[in-house]
């Protein structure tokens, strides 16, 4: 675990629970339970950031939240199976954050979770259910994550949150503490969106900030369509 200051200065990304929930387009209470638990239940995955004053999560934690959301919403995997998978990855294979790794990518077969190990990239082993610890050759393997880039160590390092035309909104923990940024512009999506609102024109905002019109339009659409719907 690291402090908020360490996470910020080491480029690990820093998000409040509310910020992360907004960017992940999910309820604040849900994300809070997943990483910080309740009086009655342990968290599914503990935050990398230890802060005695505020609850905060890192970029890696954020990626894990995206994975859990996808497994729940898109694949119908029960929460107890996801929690079991995270625990078994750590206890059986010494793998932390299995959902944020390229070499240890996690897939689903039916309703059970399997993981590819570095030593065998062809046959995943079970993390949950009757296939726990057993190699699987079942054909219908479904990857749950998209839009991630990885560093040389195979850890998620960038999330492509939104695209409009040839412009992308990306989240990189080493840039602006991981806030959504209009790639290549140097500005956060929120900054360009607020400029468009204040100027009453996407074109005027683009001129003011000396960026292409499509960069402001991408930020405007992202903040209205994705973030606005999550608010």
Domain boundaries, the chain: 1-70, 74-146, 156-230
Q: Looking at the DSSP assignment, which residues form a beta bridge with residue 115?
A: 106, 125
CA distances from 87 to 97, 119, 141, 200 (A): 10, 20, 21, 50
User: What letter does residue 188 receive in the DSSP assignment?
Assistant: B
pLDDT at residue 44, rounded to an integer? 86
pLDDT at residue 137, rounded to an integer? 46
The alpha carbon dihedral of 118, 86, 172, 7 has a sign of: negative
Name which of 76, 64, 27 is nearest 159 in CA terms.
Answer: 64
**Cα R_g (the chain), whole angstroms:** 19
Name which of 97, 27, 111, 39 is nearest 69 in CA terms.
Answer: 27
Name which of 44, 46, 43, 21 is nearest 31 in CA terms.
Answer: 21
pLDDT at residue 140, rounded to an integer? 46
CA distances from 24 to 63, 104, 113, 115, 134 (A): 9, 22, 22, 23, 33
**Cα distance from N-terminal residue to C-terminal residue, the chain:** 29
CA distances from 119 to 19, 103, 125, 127, 197 (A): 37, 9, 11, 16, 52
Cβ neighbours around 132 below 10 Å, total:
16
Residue-by-residue pLDDT tens, the chain, 231 positions: 899 999 999 999 999 999 999 999 999 999 999 999 999 888 988 899 998 889 999 999 999 999 888 888 877 888 888 888 888 888 888 888 888 888 777 777 766 787 777 766 666 777 777 666 665 544 444 556 778 999 998 899 999 999 999 999 999 999 999 999 999 999 999 999 999 999 999 999 999 999 999 999 999 999 998 887 555
Residues contacting residue 210 through CB under 8 Å, at least 6 positions apart: none
């Amino acid at each position: 675990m690291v402090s908020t200051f360490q996470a910020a200065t080491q480029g690990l990304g820093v998000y409040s629970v509310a910020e992360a929930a907004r960017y992940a387009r999910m309820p604040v209470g849900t994300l809070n339970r997943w990483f910080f638990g309740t009086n009655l239940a342990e968290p599914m995955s503990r935050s990398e950031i230890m802060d005695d004053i505020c609850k905060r999560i890192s970029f890696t934690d954020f990626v894990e939240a995206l994975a859990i959301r996808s497994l729940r919403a898109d694949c119908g995997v029960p929460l107890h199976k996801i929690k079991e998978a995270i625990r078994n990855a750590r206890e059986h294979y010494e793998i932390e954050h299995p959902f944020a790794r390229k070499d240890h990518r996690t897939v689903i077969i039916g309703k059970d979770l399997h993981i590819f190990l570095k030593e065998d990239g062809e046959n995943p082993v079970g993390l949950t259910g009757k296939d726990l610890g057993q190699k699987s050759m079942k054909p219908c393997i479904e990857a749950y994550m998209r839009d991630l880039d990885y560093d040389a160590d195979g850890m998620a390092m960038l999330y492509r949150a939104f695209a409009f035309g040839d412009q992308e909104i990306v989240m990189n923990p080493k840039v602006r503490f991981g806030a959504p940024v209009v790639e290549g512009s140097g500005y956060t999506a929120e900054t360009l969106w607020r400029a468009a609102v204040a100027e009453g024109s996407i074109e005027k905002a683009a001129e003011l900030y000396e960026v292409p019109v499509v960069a402001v339009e991408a930020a405007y659409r992202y903040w209205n369509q994705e973030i606005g719907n999550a608010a």
